[in-house]
Structure 1
């Protein structure tokens, strides 16, 4: 059993195709298939069920896949540690972020990091705060930027508050409230809202602010991303509540301060386990 065979198994599992896996690994399909077959013979079990229509993991394959990924990650980390010992930071860094992060200038941070450590393969993934915490805890992400309500404590990870601020009301320029210098929640309670999914951390700040005043509001449209939210607001389908620092970057929309608006806290989370050299360099750049 060798690492290359494990790479092939992981590629087949992720693409559900021997053809696509071979393309991803830059080898001919016959060579990849031969190596997977050799590994199956050594293990004494088939890892994949192959039909003319699909390829999927067997029970043995599902048991083998996590260990194969761990072995590949360990090998990658070993190479990175050796490079770091000789003064070179390399390897892989995967960072997650909510789309509306505002406490740090993330593109600027990434640009500085890539200039300092060009040998690191950097990946950025967007997602909800809840999902990002899970991915850091599971090891799929090295670090992540969250936006949560005050008092939210992510479990199973290390974390630090990096900023907070109040929401603003985001609306079309011709909305009746757009001419005001500020609004409050009671004034907005009768409006139609576009917001994130019920139960999400991104939604919780707004729901709790209205509930604290005994107010109910109508969220007519639930969306999974801020891009669609802003497009719907531009069409005057409703108003949105978004962090003021993020709202300052919006064009073609009116952002009105809310006197008693929701507060969002931004947090950086990272693994409880010792970071890779690439992750340690990223955290150091953020003064962690």
Structure 2
């Protein structure tokens, strides 16, 4: 099957926009539409449902997406291996991480990598850190910076290079969030307005801590991304739970402070995440190898 056709299909499945995919892949909308029709004819299945306003993947299209990604990845790995034999690497590497991780860790990693592999195109995507491992597992990214979950998905490799405490933060002017006289721990945490991540390791650890104490928290807001939590806390909307490293690198760090009476939540490991089978790619292996593991 034509690799270029598969790449067009994958791009359309990710953008769900013919116009956007045409721009990204430098093909005309008519060429893109004809390519998808040819794939659907070969497979004897509709891959997309489309009308004048929306494009969505069918069930068959979603199934084929996993196959297409796997085939394209194998093809690119084969190409990279032949380039490596010729002592040159060319291609691209997609990396996913949070905004904080991009300037806390990624700067030095990319600086070192580019010094050794100047011809590799870096595709950096930032967003909610809770999605980091899922995106790698689904084949949407080559590698990600992620917090290590208690149980890694099968086939996923993790290399630790840092750790961070989980801390509750409050606004500098936090008179509304101070413990009251004779207030019990449960009463305090049931009264405080909490700003939490929608999902992810920090939320899981807090939920475990609350359940162990039969505390039903007062949740003011649930957001995606730790940076948004720091922003909302700085506005005096509540107290938030974030990794300590997020606060240390936030432009709003002078407008928040560590909350008194921190619960004892387990720190988490930060590291690189990749599918084990993708380490056969010389480009991915090169990036993986240049990051030193911290086992302390």
TM-score tier, shorter chain, comes to 0.7 to 0.9
Alignment partner of 1:280 is 2:278: no
Shift in CA distance, 218/120, structure 1 to aligned 2, threshold 3 Å: same
How does 1:94-243 map onto structure 2 within 5 Å?
94-99=94-99, 101=101, 105-128=105-128, 131-147=131-147, 152-156=150-154, 157-176=156-175, 186=185, 189=189, 190-197=191-198, 200-212=200-212, 215-243=215-243
Return the offset for 1:245: 3.0
Determine which of 266, 269, 276 is the counterpart of 1:266. Answer: 269
Instruction: Return 164-173 or 204-213, whichever deviates more.
Output: 204-213
Task: Select the structure of larger CA radius of gyration.
Answer: 1
- Equivalent residue of 2:81, what SS? helix
Instruction: Return 36-45 or 227-236, whichever deviates more.
Output: 36-45
Shift in CA distance, 247/62, structure 1 to aligned 2, threshold 3 Å: closer
How does 1:5-84 map onto structure 2 within 5 Å?
5-16=5-16, 18-33=18-33, 52-53=52-53, 64-84=64-84
CA RMSD of aligned residues (A): 3.8
Shift in CA distance, 137/256, structure 1 to aligned 2, threshold 3 Å: same
Return the offset for 1:280: 0.9
Tell whether the 8 Å contact from 2:136 to 2:143 is kept in structure 1 after alignment. yes
Instruction: Return 22-31 or 228-237, whichever deviates more.
Output: 22-31
TM-score by length of 1: 0.76
TM-score by length of 2: 0.74
> Structure 1 CA distance, aligned partners of 2:5 and 2:65?
12
Tell whether the 8 Å contact from 1:15 to 1:21 is kept in structure 2 after alignment. yes
Instruction: Return 200-209 or 79-88, whichever deviates more.
Output: 200-209
Shift in CA distance, 188/81, structure 1 to aligned 2, threshold 3 Å: farther
Shift in CA distance, 126/188, structure 1 to aligned 2, threshold 3 Å: farther
Tell whether the 8 Å contact from 1:161 to 1:265 is kept in structure 2 after alignment. no
**Equivalent residue for 1:93?**
93
Shift in CA distance, 214/7, structure 1 to aligned 2, threshold 3 Å: closer
Tell whether the 8 Å contact from 2:148 to 2:158 is kept in structure 1 after alignment. no
Count the aligned residue pairs. 281
